[in-house]
Structure 1
Amino acid sequence: MDLLRFLIALFVLMSFSLSQSISAKVMIGVSSENGESLKYSRKQFHGELKSAYSCVINQLDSNYDVITVPQARLIKMLQNNEVDIAMPLLLLPQRDLFATRSATIYQVGYELISHSTNPDLSIENLRRQANLNGIVYKRGTGARTLMLKYLGIDKNESISHEHQVSTWQQAVDFVAKNRAGITALPAVIAKDIEPHHFNGVTRIKMPDYQLGLYMSSRFAKSAVATVIKDASKTCKEFR
């Protein structure tokens, strides 16, 4: 009889645990700093990047919640397993250290911003300007990494001075007012900034970079994560 009670209790416990795992909602974090390129409101994604990301997330049916937070906080939450999925994010080696990347969902263009009084746009001179006048970038983003890579500067190399700002527009303004020599920002974000902020700067097209989503180390071990990984490989065709 005791064995029977034990088996019944074990069955109930396992059933409860299974139901909890099935019903547990996936927590999705969306960066609040994408301009108009990707937003979430009224239970829908909006913006230029919505097609592929919607395609991926729709594989979860309705079993998810979405929060919108500043990107620096989103990265921290991803590291701490406080969100299961974080997007949209550049796929960068330093993020691979604490989270699992998806396939490339979009290729995004970046612009390097230099002061207009700088007539020589060679990589060598731009690198010299960065070292002489410093760089500025939006905190919590991959702009610094991409900028230094483009200029051929080692990420660990010391630069005269660096500024971190809260918005992409502030980064552009720093260069326009000659408070820094170089900055970089996504082309989709640049489109949302009023044209007059680019007075006094030169805009240089950089290569396209990989954009996708990241899954927390805990969530990446789940069966649902496999669904997201597979979806990212097919949904990237929606552009």
Structure 2
Amino acid sequence: MDLKGSITAPLILFVMFCTHTCFAKITIGISSENGESLKYSRKQFYGELKSAYSCVINQLDSNYDVITVPQARLIKMLQNNEVDIAMPLLLLPHRDLFATRSETIYQVGYELISHSTNPDLSIENLRRQANLNGIVYKRGTGARTLMLKYLGIDKNESISHEHQVSTWQQAVDFVAKNRAGITALPAVIAKDIEPHHFNGITRIKMPDHQLGLYMSSRFAKSAEAAAINDASKTCKEVR
């Protein structure tokens, strides 16, 4: 092989390698349905959850792009390896089936919302109310899972009727107008909903839940994924 050939062959291999590593950008997906708790604009994170999440993402050595999409679409993109990292997301068992969770980054509070005409707030009565009047929850979120777990209802158990809505506020309004018996939403989201939407309903504090991020099955095999998980341990803000 001549000198030119001996130089060209390694160069081609290097370019092929870099096509997949050196110039690859990580894609981070953020749910557009977090109220003011976490947003991304002009290359900065904003909101109540920004501190720990920006701390984690700042550990990345690679370049990254951030996209903001509805949560149901974000979950689908995560399953299809169309995003490398998805956040902020509750760490739930059914999501572990198709993606890799981080360590817990935040502990977040949830509220169970019930119509205030019923003064009995026992779990038994709330469960009866859910079975009689149905439940409502924001699609693409973990609200249904957490609500049923709190009420002691098996996730596969049939409920009289269930409604899926597009926004957290719509879920609250369904209960306020007695179109459903029960809903649940994150406390950080409840703070962003105008107070009059809570007229005529009762807000019950639920146990805190783990909030973190998920990595796609493809990205989870990378060295960057290990760095993200290490960062989630040091940047976490469990309150």
1:10 offset after TM fit, Å?
A: 4.3
The CA distance in 2 between the partners of 1:148 and 1:103, in whole Å, is: 24
Query: Structure 1: any 5+ residue segments left out of the alignment?
Result: none
The CA distance in 1 between the partners of 2:165 and 2:128, in whole Å, is: 22
| Match in the other structure for 1:222 | 222
Moved over 2 A (4+): 7-10, 17-20
| Match in the other structure for 1:72 | 72
1:107 aligns with 2:107: yes
Q: Give the partner amino acid of 2:119.
A: P
Give the TM-score normalised by structure 2.
0.96
Matches within 5 A, 1:174-213: 174-213=174-213
User: Over aligned residue pairs, what C-alpha RMSD do you find?
Assistant: 1.6
1:13 offset after TM fit, Å?
A: 3.0
| Match in the other structure for 1:172 | 172
Q: Note the alpha carbon deviations across 1:78-124, whole angstroms, 9 max, x for none.
A: 00000000000000000000000000000000000000011100000
Matches within 5 A, 1:126-145: 126-145=126-145
1:16 offset after TM fit, Å?
A: 1.1
Q: Note the alpha carbon deviations across 1:26-73, whole angstroms, 9 max, x for none.
A: 000000000000000011000000000000001125710000000000
SS in 2 for 1:140: coil
SS in 2 for 1:22: coil
Q: Give the partner amino acid of 1:232.
A: S
| Match in the other structure for 1:17 | 16
The CA distance in 1 between the partners of 2:195 and 2:107, in whole Å, is: 24
Q: Note the alpha carbon deviations across 1:10-35, whole angstroms, 9 max, x for none.
A: 42233113323022110000000000
The CA distance in 2 between the partners of 1:183 and 1:61, in whole Å, is: 41
SS in 2 for 1:82: coil
Query: Structure 2: any 5+ residue segments left out of the alignment?
Result: none
The CA distance in 2 between the partners of 1:209 and 1:121, in whole Å, is: 21
Q: How many residues align?
A: 238
Structure 1 vs Structure 2: percent identity of aligned residues?
87
Q: Give the partner amino acid of 2:123.
A: I
The CA distance in 2 between the partners of 1:153 and 1:231, in whole Å, is: 36
The CA distance in 2 between the partners of 1:185 and 1:147, in whole Å, is: 9
Structure 1 residues 176 and 78: CA distance shift in structure 2, 3 A: same
